[in-house]
Structure 1
Amino acid sequence: MNKFNLLLLFILNFLFFSCGSNNGNKKSDFSLNIDENKSSFNLNESLKASIVNSKNKSIDSVSYYLGDQYLNSSKNGELDLKLQDVLLGNQDIKAIIYTDETTDTLSKNVKILNAEAPTVYTFEIVNSYPHDITSYTQGLEFHGDTLYESIGQYGSSKLRKVDLETGEVLKEIKLDDQYFAEGLTILNDKLYQLTWQEDEGFIYDLDTFEKTGTFGYDQSKEGWGLCNNGEKIFKSDGTEKIWILDPENLTEQSYIQPTHHKSISTKLNELEWVKGKIYANTYQKDGVAIINPENGAIEGLINFSGLRDQVTQHNKLDVLNGIAYNPNTNKLYVTGKNWDKIFEVKIVEK
């Protein structure tokens, strides 16, 4: 390369790094102010923000975003946002400041909580059915009137097709010993099954249980629960996030954060789609959250305390885990890890 080309390359690099967006290495001349220095808001509250311009620099405009959602642009740099139709949980308020010289991006994290406390429900046992006491239930779902179950533990993980009335195992395959099976869901005659920490999910033909594909976890680290609404697949991973997956390639496109009026929930495990809502049990708890899939609001809590007392008590008896809704009969069923019964339950407001 001759001296002229080297000089030209140097000039181009200099211009590139001297203009355009503030990349964070240079301290911004602006700061983002949120009224009253609040960091937590409830749905339907107003969030007010402004730009502090201590050097009185000329600003062309300021564009505001909540996460990736565009809010508005203004010349004076002020934001007055009524928190409606927004995602709950931890969100970033982002301001992009345009001047003649630079584009600066500022952000602050805020927590958006639900406006109302969740409705509390309890349960009534309608019926009970036999369940394999050795089944460490991780996922449970109906397809038609037939029950499908994912069973966990290293060396004992299985996928089963089960007759609800008798508990008879109609079909079963065992996973390789290095896999710990987790949640499952069925969509378009394909069965999807998670593994826990192996960063891999399996796709099966629903009729034959022949494995037809696999998928990775992309942004999440673990596999916990699965459900679907007929179009999209929802996946929990033990964190505050429930991921929304593209059913074509199983990529994690976005997420919601289940949130009630006081805090953001974590350790949501087995998932079930029930009448437009996501039902999710909290790992090692007796509660099931009823979640709005549009914004993450926890609208209800079902207290299943005492249900475990209704099964045979033994030294391997474990926690509630397993929710199955049959839309054909409008009936809801729950079980647990190493429980010898599946219960049909009626949910009643407390």
Structure 2
Amino acid sequence: MKHAFARNALGTVLTITVGVTACAADNIPVHPFRVVHTYPHDPTAFTEGLFYEDGYFYESTGEFEGAGVRKVKLETGEVVQRRDTPAGYFGEGIIASNQRILQLSWQQGVGFIYDKATFKLIDTIRYPGEGWAMTRDADHIYMSDGTPVIRILDPQTFAQTGLIDVTENGVPLQQINELEWVKGKIYANVWQTPRIAQIDPKTGHVVGWLDMTKLVQAQKVGDPENDVLNGIAYDAAHDRLFVTGKRWKSVYEIRVER
């Protein structure tokens, strides 16, 4: 599961276009995209969660040693603020709510609540099963746990209030990982694949795919278990979508063609 460890210059425009295709068996479209900007990313960061807010990335890094939360400058990749996850916990997904940051842990069933301004640890929550990733809309937090089920959480209490069963043409979609809310859809990395699923939160159906194979190939570090796509962030104010991976050297701003 999550223990498969993973490891252009600023301003470079890398154009990668993948044609609109569909699997013959399912007819779910694969949308083309192009890279419009490339930003530096800390190649030691084992990225587990990512979101964009107020000009910065907020990133959660994993592993049992070195896990933490960090605030990162988009343009330079500079880490301007960070806090280590409590010792012995494998850091996972991250989200902000009401000037708080919630970070999941993998198998320990504990989430850590930090003050968003200071990164001071102020509380913890508990949840059953594993914690993988999170995103949110105006009213809900959505949490993945590696299964085909996305949990719906209350943004005030973090208590579970519902769930979404995710399917690809009626077949449960396994290994749902890092999440991002983009224009009414949930974008989801599928762990250990180069694909991002576009999920309709009302039905749970996969309604589209993005194939990131060429980006994964561009970031290879010579160890197949480490070449893992993971990390999606969206700047709603400027309609910018970002993707990265575990220990990647770059964050890519991509434009999805419809």
Aligned partners of 1:189 and 1:206 also within 8 Å: yes
TM-superposed CA distance for 1:312, in Å, is 6.0
Q: Which segments of 5 or more consecutive residues in structure 2 lack a partner in the other structure?
A: 1-25
Say which of 248, 261, 266 aligns to 2:156: 248
Instruction: Indicate whether 1:308 and 2:216 are aligned.
Output: yes
Structure 2: distance between partners of 1:281 and 1:212 = 30
Say which is worse superposed, 315-324 or 269-278, in terms of deviation: 315-324
TM-superposed CA distance for 1:273, in Å, is 0.7
Aligned partners of 1:117 and 1:299 also within 8 Å: no
Instruction: Indicate whether 1:230 and 2:138 are aligned.
Output: yes
Counterpart AA for 1:325: Y
TM-superposed CA distance for 1:305, in Å, is 0.9
* Cα deviation code 1:60-84 (max 9, x no counterpart): xxxxxxxxxxxxxxxxxxxxxxxxx
Counterpart AA for 2:117: D
Number of the residue aligned with 1:329 = 238
* Cα deviation code 1:263-297 (max 9, x no counterpart): 11011000001111110010000001111111211
Aligned partners of 1:155 and 1:176 also within 8 Å: no
Q: Which has the larger radius of gyration?
A: 1
Structure 2: distance between partners of 1:347 and 1:172 = 31
Instruction: Indicate whether 1:136 and 2:46 are aligned.
Output: yes
Counterpart AA for 2:130: E
Aligned partners of 1:143 and 1:186 also within 8 Å: no
3-state SS of paired residue (1:309): helix
Residues 195/124 of structure 1: CA separation in 2 closer, same or farther (3 Å cut): same
Aligned partners of 2:97 and 2:156 also within 8 Å: no
* Identity score, percent: 40
Aligned partners of 1:136 and 1:153 also within 8 Å: yes
1:1-350 correspondence to structure 2 within 5 Å = 117-217=27-127, 220-311=128-219, 313-315=221-223, 317-349=226-258
* Cα deviation code 1:289-347 (max 9, x no counterpart): 11111121111111111102223635484300000001121000000001010001111
3-state SS of paired residue (2:248): coil
Structure 2: distance between partners of 1:335 and 1:236 = 18
Aligned partners of 1:271 and 1:279 also within 8 Å: yes
Say which is worse superposed, 121-130 or 164-173, in terms of deviation: 121-130
Aligned partners of 1:123 and 1:347 also within 8 Å: yes
Structure 2: distance between partners of 1:298 and 1:317 = 26
Counterpart AA for 1:307: L
Bigger relative contact order, structure 1 or 2, given CA contacts below 8 A and separation 6+? 2
Aligned partners of 1:147 and 1:163 also within 8 Å: yes
Counterpart AA for 1:198: Q
* Cα deviation code 1:3-38 (max 9, x no counterpart): xxxxxxxxxxxxxxxxxxxxxxxxxxxxxxxxxxxx
Counterpart AA for 2:255: K
TM-superposed CA distance for 1:262, in Å, is 4.2
User: Normalization by structure 2: what TM-score?
Assistant: 0.86
TM-superposed CA distance for 1:191, in Å, is 1.0
User: Normalization by structure 1: what TM-score?
Assistant: 0.64
3-state SS of paired residue (1:324): strand
TM-superposed CA distance for 1:238, in Å, is 0.8
Which stretches of structure 1, 4 residues or more, deviate above 6 A after TM superposition? none
Counterpart AA for 2:56: T
